[in-house]
């Protein structure tokens, strides 16, 4: 499943680049080399991480980054943007073809930025535009002070309904620590206490009572598919805009693993995503939308975004072109199949899984059965060469910092070529480490939520086993930095 490339050509490109960088700041060149070594030598199971192809990575290191290009294709506020126009149009065209979308906006710098663009576009289309029409104005600058203050109050009185954080939702879906929680009055829907699954009847009841402007679907730690056709029915019933954040599972949508009711693009008014994670592109964001929101979405810069990054938009175009190839569908299906194998391997060895399994690319472990917090489990696994991240589980008694869960995912190791046998072995290694880990006493006398010990020999044994798996499935095979 690894991305094919010419190792000798890539080696020469990176050696030359690092030589140029090192001549100015050797610390940075060394850190770049060390990062490749670290990634090659660890079992990367962070669900939101992946490996971009050398073509994607090299595209970002170009003089396209030197150009200001506020505005949109053919309508820039700076001169001489013809090449940025070409880049942005290519990225948008690839995105529309890849996802079957009516409109694509590829300027957002991150998933949070994409969500901000989407939120403000929805507010502009559903709240601001009617207010301007009622006042006989074409632009907010045409409003008198009274109408402007009335519009500001209307904008600040809107509601958003999204999945709760402990059920697997994301901070950017209306929660107070994030700017989205300061924009909207927010409420949450959760999951069934017994199954951990979404209860659409409860979502519907909550939406009827709360009456949100925006119904947000999508997740960062929910290991199941979402029925977006049903979510659209709920949104239509209460007059809400359905916004789907598919940042985590965009690769499964692009790779046609999620189709029909489980593909958000035909059902949502607005879809946001990152372009890395399961899409294997550069770190960045994107908004897809139905035609009625296109003009508002395209005002993302300067509404909430700074100048678009031409080099990153170019890398998005390259990544989308890669994702349109038949082999990406094979990769995406392998990501989902491998997640099932990993989940089954963990469950068979006694690990409690939130929802009992997975239907996407991620698995959420409840590590409380090992007597551990998520932080202790994450740290012990990292010591052993297994990179994961702690994550809250539904109704988590340890809160969002220490947590009771660990989230793992299959996109990165699938990119390296891992299959069923390797992921079952990985499940075995995870259980070996967790079984051998014990919390240590806190200064107060009780059990610490952070400190731990791992039984003698387990860390070295696990690192050795991980090394065997990684050596058999090298990262960027043939790439030699010298």
The domain that holds 266 is classified in CATH as 3.40.640.10
| pLDDT higher than 50, residue 58 | yes
Question: Are 136 and 225 contained in the same domain?
Answer: yes
Give 89: exposed, middle or buried? Use CB within 10 Å, 0-12, 13-18, 19+.
middle
* Residue 440 within any structural domain of the chain: yes
> Band of the pLDDT at 2, cuts 50, 70, 90?
very low
Mean pLDDT of 111-139: 94
Determine what percent of the chain is predicted with pLDDT higher than 90: 89
Higher pLDDT among residues 445 and 152, named by residue: 152
pLDDT above 60 (res 474)? yes
Q: Which helix (H) or strand (E) holds 79?
A: none
Whether this model's pTM surpasses 0.85: yes
424, 345 in Cβ contact below 8 A? Answer: yes
The answer to whether residues 348 and 305 belong to one domain is no
Same domain, 190 and 84: yes
Residue 275 within a domain = yes
Q: Are residues 190 and 283 in the same domain?
A: yes
Q: Is the dihedral of CA 327, 333, 338, 341 positive or negative?
A: negative
Please indicate, yes or no, if residue 245 is contained in any of the structural domains.
yes
| pLDDT surpassing 60 at residue 75 | yes
Q: Count the domains in the chain.
A: 2
Based on the fold, state whether residues 233 and 368 are members of the same structural domain.
no
> What pLDDT shows up at residue 6?
66
Q: What is the pLDDT of residue 177?
A: 80
**Banded model confidence at residue 1, pLDDT cuts 50, 70, 90:** very low
Provide mean pLDDT across the span 62-90.
Answer: 96
Pick the last residue of a domain from 306, 323, 340: 323
Residue that finishes a domain, picked among 323, 354, 373: 323
**Tens of pLDDT, residues 229-285:** 999 999 999 999 999 999 999 999 999 999 999 999 999 999 999 999 999 999 999
DSSP 395: T
Same-domain check for residues 361 and 446: yes
Catalytic residue positions, numbered: 68, 70, 245, 274, 277, 283
Q: Which of 263, 289, 323 is the last residue of a domain?
A: 323
Range 85-97 average pLDDT: 98
Task: Decide if 308 is inside a domain.
Answer: yes
Secondary structure percentages of the chain, helix, strand, coil, to 5? 50, 15, 35
Residue 431 reports pLDDT greater than 80: yes
Residue 416 lies in a domain: yes
Same domain, 392 and 333: yes
List Cβ neighbours of 450 (8 Å cut-off, separation of 6 or more): 373, 375, 376, 379, 402
Q: What's the mean pLDDT when you consider all of the chain?
A: 94
Whole-number Å distance between alpha carbons of 282 and 319:
8
Taking residues 186-190, report their average pLDDT.
93
Q: Is residue 57 part of a domain?
A: no
Q: Quick one: 355 and 445 in the same domain?
A: yes
| One domain for residues 292 and 197 | yes
Q: Within this chain, do residues 348 and 302 fall inside the same structural domain, yes or no? A: no
Predicted confidence (pLDDT) at residue 5 exceeds the cutoff of 60: no
Question: Pick the residue with more confidence: 134 or 5?
Answer: 134
* Claim to verify: residue 393 and residue 337 sit in the same structural domain: yes
Q: Which domain holds residue 146?
A: 65-323
74 in the same domain as 132: yes
Residue 40 lies in a domain: no
Mean pLDDT of 405-424: 98
Strands (E), 301-436: 352-353, 362-366, 386-387, 389-391, 405-409
- Listed in sequence order, the residues at least 6 apart from 339 whose beta carbon sits closer than 8 Å to its beta carbon are 223, 358, 360, 361, 362, 363, 409, 410
What is the C-alpha to C-alpha distance for residues 221 and 169, in angstroms, rounded to an integer? 7
The CATH number of residue 466's host domain is: 3.90.1150.10
Question: Within a domain: residue 18?
Answer: no
> How does pLDDT run across 329-385, given as a tens digit for each residue?
999 999 999 999 999 999 999 999 999 999 999 999 999 999 999 999 999 999 999
Q: Could you please report the per-residue DSSP string of 243-287?
A: EEE-TTTHHHHHTTSS-GGG-STTT-SEEEEESSGGG---S-EEE
């Amino acid at each position: 499943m690894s991305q094919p490339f010419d190792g000798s050509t890539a080696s020469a490109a990176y050696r030359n680049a690092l030589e140029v960088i090192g001549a100015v700041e050797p610390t940075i060149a060394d850190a770049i080399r060390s990062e490749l070594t670290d990634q090659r030598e660890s079992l990367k199971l962070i669900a939101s991480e992946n490996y971009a192809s050398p073509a994607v990575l090299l595209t970002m290191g170009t003089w396209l980054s030197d150009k200001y290009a506020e505005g949109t294709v053919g309508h820039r506020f700076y001169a001489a943007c013809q090449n940025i126009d070409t880049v942005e149009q290519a990225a948008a065209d690839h995105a529309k073809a890849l996802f079957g979308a009516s409109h694509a906006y590829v300027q957002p710098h991150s998933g949070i930025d994409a969500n901000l663009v989407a939120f403000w576009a929805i507010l502009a289309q559903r709240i601001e535009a009617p207010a301007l029409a009622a006042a006989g104005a074409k632009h907010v600058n045409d409003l008198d002070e009274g109408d402007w203050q009335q519009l500001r109050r209307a904008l600040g009185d809107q509601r958003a309904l999204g999945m709760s954080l402990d059920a697997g939702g994301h901070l950017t879906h209306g929660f107070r620590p994030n700017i989205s929680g300061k924009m909207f009055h927010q409420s949450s829907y959760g999951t069934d206490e017994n199954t951990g699954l979404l209860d659409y009847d409860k979502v519907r009841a909550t939406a009827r009572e709360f009456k949100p402007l925006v119904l947000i679907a999508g997740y960062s730690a929910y290991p199941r598919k979402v029925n977006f056709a049903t979510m659209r029915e709920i949104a239509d019933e209460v007059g809400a805009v359905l916004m789907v954040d598919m940042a985590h599972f965009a690769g499964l949508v692009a790779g046609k693993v999620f189709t029909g009711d489980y593909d958000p693009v035909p059902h949502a008014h607005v879809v946001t995503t990152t372009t890395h994670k399961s899409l294997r592109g550069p770190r960045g964001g994107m908004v897809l939308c139905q035609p009625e929101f296109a003009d508002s979405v395209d005002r993302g810069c300067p509404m909430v975004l700074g100048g678009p990054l031409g080099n990153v938009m170019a890398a998005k175009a390259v990544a989308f072109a890669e994702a349109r190839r038949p082999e990406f569908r094979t990769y995406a299906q392998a990501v989902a199949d491998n997640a099932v194998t990993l989940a089954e391997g963990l469950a068979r060895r006694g690990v409690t899984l939130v929802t009992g399994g997975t239907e996407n690319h991620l698995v959420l472990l409840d590590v409380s059965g090992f007597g551990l917090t998520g932080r202790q489990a994450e740290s012990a696994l990292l010591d052993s060469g297994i990179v994961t991240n702690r994550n809250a589980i539904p109704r988590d008694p340890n809160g969002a910092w220490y947590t009771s869960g660990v989230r793992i995912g299959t996109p990165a190791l699938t990119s390296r070529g891992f299959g069923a046998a390797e992921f079952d072995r990985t499940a075995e290694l995870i259980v070996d480490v967790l079984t051998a880990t014990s919390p240590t006493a806190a200064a107060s006398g009780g059990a610490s939520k952070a400190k731990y010990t791992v039984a003698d020999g387990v860390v070295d044994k696990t690192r050795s086993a991980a090394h065997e798996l990684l050596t058999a499935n090298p990262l960027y095979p043939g790439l030699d930095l010298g």
